[in-house]
Amino acid sequence: MPTPLQPVRGTRDLIGEEFRRHQAVTDAARGVAALYGFEEWATPIFEDTRVFARTLGETSDVVTKEMYSFTDRGGDGITLRPENTAGVCRALVSNGLTQSLPRKVFYAGPMFRYERPQKGRYRQFHQIGCEVLGAAEPLADAEVIACGWQILNELDIADGVALEINTLGDAESRDAYRAALIAYFTQHRDALSEESRARLERNPLRILDSKDEGDRQVVAGAPAMRAHLTEAAAAFYAQVQRYLGLLGVPFRENDRIVRGLDYYSHTAFEFVTDRLGAQGTVMAGGRYNGLVEDMGGPPTPCVGWAAGIERLGMLLPSAPEAPRAVAVIPVSEAQEGAALSLARSLREDGIPVEMAYRGNLKRRMERAGKLGAIAAILIGEAEVADGLLVVKDLDEGTQTRVPRAELGRTLAGIGVMEAMAGMLAEELGTDPSLAP
């Protein structure tokens, strides 16, 4: 017998409770994003490698160490998407949408990075995200953050999650800040890790995000960005904070939130928590004003965020319950036609129905219990003749014979989709399939 195959390291199956957590996050995010006017896009899970190599930085860890890249049979360089902001911007350009801005885009789907699997992080993971494309105003920054905050509230996980914000300033501000960082870190070069020394000349902002303990001690004394802001950049940051206050979004400032690539500017933010151990960021984003241009489009100001579905799902106070079905059980083969007709009517009214494919009455009832059905409807010869149904409450163990016209009310009393009781009573009451 061959050895059973297992999922590839860093991947997993989403089944049962895990899938319900995943679905709850996606559904809540999709609903809230729609309230803010975001339309959902679905881009391919693999792209031309240049989409990511250009936009994530040729020397970034994602590009050099973590991307799943390969050459396809046609000789083209292909990469499984490690994130989706670049794909959304590519889609904006390649679909000729840069003439109808702004666009507000929501997405959800799998991403791929080759990294060490750890709690809440996998090599195939899933993200939701929102992007506002073509809006330069600080209100766009505040609104996209407010959308993220409302999603956390909708999921009932906002308690224990804090919004931290910073500003990266405009180009002039960043140039001044970069010079200040180079001067500071040069004085402490010997105390930096080898990786941070390599970043010193190339991209000193990334030293601020180092996880090395020695680097972190040096970073603690580094100058702050806010001291190097131009007047315009400072005013933009103040407006973002003002709008967040008006939108009722609490925040705190953290001048160590950075983004290493040059096309990031102004607002950077993270929603963080201590409920996931070291992996504390559950949603992160910022303003990027050069990414669309890197894709061959016109200069286009953008702002957005992405969030890990797995991490958000881990924060849910409990897994959503699976919908409980009603089991429709014919007592004998002679009642199968009536059972199928009833099952069809119930499903048309949105009620989940289970029907066993084999076994006697006892075994079918046992299966209904194992599946967690909330009720069983038994259809026997006498019931068909009298136009009645036997409804058994599987939680209480009680049962009653009811006319078909009263089925909706009876199911509602058990807890089956109470809002539909009237419709069920009306529609099922006129269905002649169980008449003698």
Confidence of residue 205 (pLDDT cuts 50, 70, 90): confident
Q: Which residues make up the CATH 3.40.50.800 domain(s) of the chain?
A: 326-434
Spatial separation of the C-alpha atoms in residues 392 and 389, rounded to whole Å: 10
Cα 26–28–29 angle (5° rounding)? 65
Predicted pLDDT at 384: 84
Strand partners, 138: none
Confidence of residue 64 (pLDDT cuts 50, 70, 90): low
Hey, what long-range contacts does 382-391 have (CB within 8 A, 24 or more apart)? 383/335, 383/434, 384/335, 384/338, 384/434, 384/436, 385/436, 386/436, 387/434, 387/435, 387/436, 389/342, 389/434
Confidence of residue 386 (pLDDT cuts 50, 70, 90): confident
Sheet with 46-48: list strands edge to edge.
46-48, 77-80, 69-71
Rg of the chain, C-alpha, whole Å: 28
147 half-sphere exposure, CB direction, 13 A CA radius: 31
The answer to whether the beta carbons of residues 138 and 243 sit under 8 Å apart is yes
Can you tell me the mean pLDDT for 103-111?
97
Lowest mean pLDDT among 50-64, 142-156, 215-229, 301-315: 50-64
Predicted pLDDT at 258: 83
Distances in Å between the Cα of 328 and the Cα atoms of 40, 252, 362 are: 38, 56, 13
Q: What is the pLDDT of residues 280-311, one digit of tens each?
A: 899 999 999 888 998 999 999 999 999 999 99
Instruction: List, in sequence order, every beta strand (DSSP E) within 213-337.
Output: 252-253, 264-273, 281-288, 302-308, 326-330
- Residue 231's closest CA among 142, 167, 135, 140? 167
For residue 156, pLDDT beyond 90: yes
Superfamily of domain 17-170+230-315: Bira Bifunctional Protein; Domain 2 (3.30.930.10)
For residue 315, pLDDT beyond 80: yes
The answer to whether the beta carbons of residues 255 and 224 sit under 8 Å apart is yes
The answer to whether the beta carbons of residues 325 and 371 sit under 8 Å apart is yes
In terms of DSSP H, where are the helices of 132-189? 138-154, 171-187
Confidence of residue 427 (pLDDT cuts 50, 70, 90): very low
CATH architecture of structural domain 326-434: 3-Layer(aba) Sandwich (3.40)
For residue 416, pLDDT beyond 60: yes
Predicted pLDDT at 367: 92
Lowest mean pLDDT among 142-156, 174-188, 252-266, 348-362: 252-266
For residue 47, pLDDT beyond 60: yes
- Joined together, the tokens standing for residue 4 give 């059973």
- Residue 282's closest CA among 101, 155, 428? 155
Q: Which residues make up the CATH 3.30.930.10 domain(s) of the chain?
A: 17-170+230-315
For residue 62, pLDDT beyond 80: no
Higher pLDDT residue, 174 or 27? 27
- Residue 199's closest CA among 158, 250, 138, 258? 258
Cα 88–70–127 angle (5° rounding)? 35
What is the number of other CB atoms lying within 10 angstroms of the CB of residue 82? 22
CA 22 from centroid of its chain's CA atoms: 8
What is the reported pTM? 0.86
Can you tell me the mean pLDDT for 373-385?
89
For residue 224, pLDDT beyond 90: no
Higher pLDDT residue, 433 or 50? 50
The answer to whether the beta carbons of residues 182 and 204 sit under 8 Å apart is yes
Three-class SS state of 10: coil
Average pLDDT value over all residues in the chain = 88
Higher pLDDT residue, 255 or 132? 132
For residue 420, pLDDT beyond 80: no
Predicted pLDDT at 306: 96
For residue 98, pLDDT beyond 80: yes
For residue 255, pLDDT beyond 70: yes
Predicted pLDDT at 190: 85
Give the rounded percent of residues in the chain with a pLDDT score beyond 70: 92
Tell me which range, 1-10, 80-89, 111-120, is most confidently predicted by mean pLDDT: 80-89
Give backbone dihedrals phi and psi of 273, rounded to 5 degrees, phi first. Answer: -150, 155
